[in-house]
Structure 1
């Protein structure tokens, strides 16, 4: 591995690490979507968060840290935002294509970035993002029909993603990142699992689901989080943010290859607008706040 890093350079390895992490997230989402007919979006979210929490708790061992009451409150709020974000995203994914769901949801962190700056050029990026969202929505006959409920869930997920970033930044300001993530994931699991049980019942206990549930947990949470933490040590946060901006396009490509979800040229154009807006916002920002494992 050390020879590989020496031959390619630390920055190149870090870029590849981010790309692998993003691919892992999208493969995990595609795998999760295949579980929907069996346990629904609620049950799938519950399984993912439960196993992800168990993995991260075993790795992070947060019980070794003593937290103040204020720190516990920050972690709990962060975990609640994480749980609702995952649940609403999977509810959206149950009704609309993966690429569309990620593109709409991506307006959450993009909005946080744009609202935190006063540069004139950022109004261009904001306008480009608005154009992308308008093109995605089925407002004209040129757009492929979309389930409005699914669109609503994706917008809710985007709002939760924005809150996840804001609360996550507040939590990691006083608590170690590994502790925040493991306790936040545990909080998210405790919040969402009852919804999964209420929806899927004893179907969640089917042993045949275990490999898929573990696969979704590892691919969507444990593996990408670990890879992104490695990349953040070697990449400027601005570069990291630009790389993460291609997530909607990668999601659309994954949906096409893994789920046979075919989008219209208008929808591809819309996703391109959102990606360009995110890249532009990240490139023009003086300081890019990045929270690993952000995309559900």
Structure 2
């Protein structure tokens, strides 16, 4: 039996790029949490978005392309949703473990997938996801003390913003592609910066904060954006959705490796349930096999 090595490589390298992008996003989140004692979650969000916007503006110079009024509306909502998503996610990260925060946040794209589907089987995946999230908040399990309601609420709010980010990002990106993403990040920075400045003040200008913030901006935005934009056109929707479903586990592993956040058996099982629900919505009959269109998520 002969193997076509070129075909294998052609299928494998976009998958590898997407896995690297997801690992970078979660590593960036772990790095961001180290700034919370100095700059707070809002200040860290501001530094990350401002520096990411500056990097992307310099690299891509979106002002070279005109944007219609209708596109500006979608880009504006996309940018506000992006800023709120990052803000709420970091608020959640201050209160609950990284992997669990990602699991709660994953309700956003899962909801979008279910709403856009007409398959009765998706109700099974919804029930599985709800069951997993319920386990994370169930009193008396090994999750007690690791998850609190404010943190869970912030993560769920971030998931809602992620859903809006997907819907309006698709509208904006369909016309202006990566330029819309850069403008969205810039709008997000403008919206969130005043909150971060109010919370952290002059601490945002400390060399350590700027240096770590630059690392977070690269890991969580610039690097994954670049890698995902290369990988997405080369991946079928089903493959993309399946790989993205691994993100809660990658977040949990990142939290364990970089933050020492150990999870119990029930927590891993609950995260696995959310992942299976996400994979199920992607792979059950009716899921498309066209190239993926969902915009990347700079968490």
Whether TM exceeds 0.5 here: the answer is yes
The answer to whether 1:147 aligns with 2:148 is yes
Q: Is the 8 A contact 1:81 1:160 kept in 2?
A: yes
The answer to whether 1:90 aligns with 2:90 is yes
The answer to whether 1:102 aligns with 2:102 is yes
In 1, the alpha carbon distance for the partners of 2:247 and 2:37 equals 25
Partner of 1:34: 34
Q: Which contiguous aligned blocks of 4+ residues in structure 1 show a shift greater than 4 angstroms?
A: 5-8
Residues 73/181 of structure 1: CA separation in 2 closer, same or farther (3 Å cut): same
Equivalent position SS for 1:9: helix
In 1, the alpha carbon distance for the partners of 2:151 and 2:271 equals 17
Q: Is the 8 A contact 1:81 1:164 kept in 2?
A: yes
Q: Is the 8 A contact 1:128 1:274 kept in 2?
A: yes
Q: Is the 8 A contact 1:41 1:87 kept in 2?
A: yes
Q: Displacement of 1:290 after TM fit?
A: 4.2
Q: Is the 8 A contact 1:93 1:101 kept in 2?
A: yes
In 1, the alpha carbon distance for the partners of 2:233 and 2:70 equals 28
Partner of 1:159: 160
Q: Is the 8 A contact 1:74 1:167 kept in 2?
A: yes
Partner of 1:131: 131
TM-score, with structure 1 as normaliser = 0.94
In 2, the alpha carbon distance for the partners of 1:246 and 1:131 equals 18
Partner of 2:267: 267
Equivalent position SS for 1:233: helix
User: Structure 2 stretches of 5 or more lacking a match?
Assistant: none
Partner of 1:79: 79
Q: Is the 8 A contact 1:81 1:161 kept in 2?
A: yes
Q: Displacement of 1:7 after TM fit?
A: 9.0
Partner of 1:59: 59
Q: Is the 8 A contact 2:281 2:287 kept in 1?
A: no
In 1, the alpha carbon distance for the partners of 2:125 and 2:7 equals 37
Partner of 1:182: 182
In 1, the alpha carbon distance for the partners of 2:124 and 2:58 equals 45
Q: Displacement of 1:138 after TM fit?
A: 3.6
The answer to whether 1:250 aligns with 2:250 is yes
Equivalent position SS for 2:95: coil
Q: Is the 8 A contact 1:144 1:264 kept in 2?
A: no
TM-superposition CA deviations, 1:167-202 (whole Å, max 9, x none) = 1112123x3211110000000000000000000000
Q: Is the 8 A contact 2:204 2:210 kept in 1?
A: no
TM-superposition CA deviations, 1:72-92 (whole Å, max 9, x none) = 111111100000000000000
Partner of 2:23: 23
TM-superposition CA deviations, 1:259-289 (whole Å, max 9, x none) = 1001111111000000001011111243386
In 2, the alpha carbon distance for the partners of 1:51 and 1:136 equals 34
Q: Is the 8 A contact 2:111 2:163 kept in 1?
A: yes
The answer to whether 1:293 aligns with 2:296 is yes
TM-superposition CA deviations, 1:11-45 (whole Å, max 9, x none) = 11111111111110111000001010110000000
| Number of residues of Structure 1 aligned to a counterpart in Structure 2 | 291
Q: CA RMSD in A?
A: 1.6
Q: Is the 8 A contact 2:137 2:148 kept in 1?
A: no
In 2, the alpha carbon distance for the partners of 1:36 and 1:103 equals 21
Equivalent position SS for 1:55: helix
